[in-house]
Structure 1
Amino acid sequence: MSTPAEPRVSGLEIRSIDYVPLNERHGKLWHLGPLWFMSNAQIATLAVGLISITEGGNLLWSLLAIVTGTVIGTFFMAFHSAQGPQLGLPQMIQSRPQFGYVGALLVWVFAYVQYAGFNVFNSVLAADALHTTLHGGVRLWVVVVTVVAMAVALVGYDVIHKAERFLTYAFLVIFGVFTVGVLATLHYPPGSFDLGGFRWTPFLAQFGVVAGYQISWAIYVSDYSRYLPPDVTVRKTFYWTYFGSALGGIWLMALGTLLAAWAGEHFDTITSIDAAGDKVFVGFGAIVLLFAALGLISVTALNMYGGSLTLISAIDSFRRVRPTLAVRLLTLALTAALSLVGALAATSNFLQNFNDFLLLVLYLFIPWTAVNLMDYYVVRRGHYAIAEIFNPHGIYGRWGRHGIIAYLVGFVVMIPFFSVGTLYVGPAAKALGGADISLFVGLPVSALLYWWLTRSVDVAAETRLAEAEAAELEQAAREHREP
């Protein structure tokens, strides 16, 4: 399909969960690279690289766990990204064909909790960085960070892409120098690079947290590719997303592991970065922290943007929502307010338990990503009647029993393999010495069960319906704008 040569409406973004018509498709495919690189290349990602060191693993095997966890976890989120240009829809609304018009609430609630949890952590971390360098109090900076992030999220898709490209260029300079300084000036404990220091439990713990962190991006990715023209290939969309996210993740998680191995029991994200930066030259630690705060603000904006879309999707399940700027503003304000309250109330225990939160996110979204990807790439092969996704009485039904069953079964069979710090260790995980292999259980079970349950789906009939509704869908999408 070719894109009509009509001018695209600029300014504040109005669209939310609705289909993006062809005349509003724009942007370049390579923009996904900097967006997903910078989304991961911020110091909250440092915390993901700590768990192996804190549980007694050595530096070498911690780095290998980070690389393998990133390589595998990013694979899934990048395939979700390729759905955006083809469907012109944000990510979570795409769950309706699998889970039903109302049934998709099951995963939307979990997604919204994830957005809230990440925003609390990011806001507090950014405020701590700003307080360390500029002073003024952490609570004041939490408010500033929240307000600025909300403003960026309100302007929307285009400004987020542009901001992430600018931050990527600056990151390569500032964190490039910082990384060289870390490698050249810090000293590590004996045995840090000993291949014989392998320990199964910390390795799998680190692997699981990293894979979970990367899979957690899966609920975002189509949000930032849905405005691209539909003629971009799945393969290229996958590559730009995959390598951007994987490189940013490995870089920052590896930095976290290096800093944790150097600082030992005295490690603290902000103070350790400050101290390591000052080893390059006095005052450089403050420069790194100030730039890091900008990165955290940008990813907080991403979370608010995605949280707003998820909240609108949830409300639309009960009452049809016409996408307008007012709706975006209201849901963004609510999402920002929840983030602010959580950040102001956060305790040191919350921040210390961030890795446990990441594991819980992994558990909740492993079955969802398996079902969604199996449906898109194997069962329906990208053929959806998009207008029916917004029809409460449409062909996808109110409750998608196939998706719900596959999700719940996949989650239940994972439970014995859970290993969440001191919160819960399942019997299978105990038998494996505390190692967590739930990822390798839940993914295939949910995916294969969903495929088996959906063997009778008439994809050809759905495709014919989609073709019949295409012109009306396009026209309706163009008309549903504010004057």
Structure 2
Amino acid sequence: MALVESRSIDYVPLAERHGKVWHLWPIWFTGDAHLATLATGAISVVGGLDLFWSGIAILGGCVLGTVLMAFHCTQGPHLGLPQMIQSRPQFGYVGALLVWVVALITFIGFNALNQSLAASTLRELGGFPERPTIVIFAIVALLVAVIGYDLIHKAQRFLAFAMLVVLALYTAGSFTIVDFGVLLQPGPLKPTLFLVQFFAAAAYQLSWSIYVSDYSRYLPRDVGIRDSFFWTFWGAFVGGAWMMLIGAFAAAAFGTTDIVAALRASGDAMLPGFGLFVLVTSFLGLITITSLNFYGASLTLLSVIDSLSTVTLGIKSRVSALAAVFIVTLSLSLAASGNVLHGFEAFLGILTYLFTPWTAINLVDFFFVRKGRYSIRAMFMADGLYGRWNWRGLSAYALGFVAMVPFFKTGLYVGPIAQALGGADVSMLVGLPVSALAYLLFCRNLDLPAEMQQIDTLDRNLETEPVR
């Protein structure tokens, strides 16, 4: 492989596949083991839920979101494509814009949060000014994303081992500074806060689904669905749940909404200076996850542009897209103000509404309808096998989303069923089955035998000739 990755949204030929399936564990463990994940775990504790019930909500939400995310990861080695391009068979060449625009907003939102957390961390560490810190942090993360896939994987593997040591020491040390018998004493269950935390954790883990295949698409095809699922699930679940639980613990033990300050204070209480070490290690993870977001955003932006006007695939287009995403994200970070944690909670809620129908449709199509049989070339043809607009996917998405509306609970709107449930939002549990069943129903008249016959012809020289 070249020093700088040469591919963008195009197919990765089998001759270029490399890496080991266990590499998925560190990339997603470290992908979750950083400061933004801490903030997710602190949401319910800051709201007034005790640590016991918050911990159960975190674990349950992480299981739900990570299972879905890990199934998406298995698509990467099989198809050799970025995650978002794989939405074209379900939604159409142009119709897939629906989910891509949402994905772009997600990337930008996460990186705006990451850059704000980076500024808070360096202010806590050494009193560094906020705005210059955000700019420098964003530039470093951008450079890693420019180099691309291999550097991101290597950086994540290095940090995974460092974070394992730090988290193990922190967890052991926590028993020396608090009485867990008191701290974990279950109080009254507050259903609304419990469900807020449960679905915040689920949405956070599910949000990786929009680009999880981006980091498995270079793996050999024969790694298998079971192994790629296994390594992804346990990497993301352990990293995500562990960090969220630490965030909940720090907020509960020190009673502050400033999660960075709470983490340092708790670490220093275990051993003088240890809080600084924890923050520095977590900060490095924040750099790499920001790089992952920049990288995924650039591929998604290219997918959007490619649906409107054919682009030349390769390194130039990828770097140009990175530059555009960098400018937008940096501008948003510099303009952000107010309670970041409160805004992040609302942001995760919106992700739940927008990605639940998509993940159901994408997974049902891959595992139950087309069963992994797709034409790679047709995904890059505007008037090809999958058409410009696919009414089946779009209609199933609309039905799933509409079915969720009565269960919504946001600052602007609370659905009637959410009100009847005391403000609890269980919309994800409705959107998943409705979207999945609707898509299965709409695909009953899909002529799959005719479609399968065309695939062999379309992809005959796939390994020797470019997809476009």
TM-score grouping bracket, smaller chain normalisation: over 0.9
Counterpart CA distance in 1 for 2:330 and 2:84 is 24
1:245 deviation in Å? 0.3
1:350 deviation in Å? 4.1
Given candidates 1, 4, 8, the residue that maps to 1:16 is 8
- What is the match of residue 137 of structure 1? 129
Structure 2: gaps of 5 or more residues:
none
1:179-210 alpha-carbon deviations (Å, 9 max, x no partner): 2222321357957422x622222111111111
TM-score (norm 1): 0.94
1:423-451 alpha-carbon deviations (Å, 9 max, x no partner): 33211001001111101100000000001
- What is the match of residue 84 of structure 2? 92
- What is the match of residue 454 of structure 2? 465
- What is the match of residue 293 of structure 2? 303
- What is the match of residue 423 of structure 2? 434
Q: Greater shift after overlay, 277-286 or 217-226?
A: 277-286
Counterpart CA distance in 1 for 2:328 and 2:91 is 27
- What is the match of residue 119 of structure 1? 111
Counterpart CA distance in 2 for 1:253 and 1:428 is 29
1:25 deviation in Å? 0.6
- What is the match of residue 211 of structure 2? 220
1:53 deviation in Å? 1.8
- What is the match of residue 3 of structure 1? none
1:258 deviation in Å? 0.8
Contact 1:374 1:451 (C-alpha < 8 Å) held by counterparts: yes
Given candidates 326, 333, 351, the residue that maps to 1:336 is 326
Given candidates 18, 22, 28, the residue that maps to 1:26 is 18
- What is the match of residue 68 of structure 1? 60
RMSD: 1.5
Q: Greater shift after overlay, 460-469 or 116-125?
A: 460-469
Given candidates 153, 177, 185, the residue that maps to 2:145 is 153
- What is the match of residue 39 of structure 1? 31
Paired AA for residue 227 in structure 2:
K
1:110 deviation in Å? 0.3
Counterpart CA distance in 2 for 1:382 and 1:142 is 42
1:299-318 alpha-carbon deviations (Å, 9 max, x no partner): 00000000000000000001
Are residue 247 (structure 1) and residue 238 (structure 2) matched?
A: yes
1:477 deviation in Å? 2.7
Are residue 262 (structure 1) and residue 253 (structure 2) matched?
A: yes
Paired AA for residue 253 in structure 2:
W
Equivalence map 1:265-414=2 (5 Å) = 266-414=256-404
SS at match of 1:472: coil
- What is the match of residue 72 of structure 2? 80
1:88-139 alpha-carbon deviations (Å, 9 max, x no partner): 0000010000110001000000000000000000011012212321333121
Counterpart CA distance in 2 for 1:382 and 1:64 is 35
Structure 1: gaps of 5 or more residues:
1-8
Paired AA for residue 372 in structure 1:
N
Given candidates 175, 184, 203, the residue that maps to 1:183 is 175
Paired AA for residue 254 in structure 1:
L
SS at match of 1:57: coil
1:20-48 alpha-carbon deviations (Å, 9 max, x no partner): 11111111000000101110111110111
1:461 deviation in Å? 2.4
Percent sequence identity over aligned pairs: 50
Paired AA for residue 391 in structure 1:
M
Contact 2:58 2:198 (C-alpha < 8 Å) held by counterparts: yes
Between Structure 1 and Structure 2, how many residues are aligned?
Answer: 468
Structure 1 residues 16 and 323, CA, compared in 2 at 3 Å: closer, same or farther? same
Counterpart CA distance in 2 for 1:186 and 1:346 is 35
Counterpart CA distance in 1 for 2:302 and 2:84 is 10
Structure 1 residues 189 and 183, CA, compared in 2 at 3 Å: closer, same or farther? closer
Structure 1 residues 281 and 178, CA, compared in 2 at 3 Å: closer, same or farther? same
Contact 1:410 1:442 (C-alpha < 8 Å) held by counterparts: yes
Runs of 4+ with deviation above 6 angstroms: none
Structure 1 residues 152 and 191, CA, compared in 2 at 3 Å: closer, same or farther? closer
Contact 1:20 1:477 (C-alpha < 8 Å) held by counterparts: no
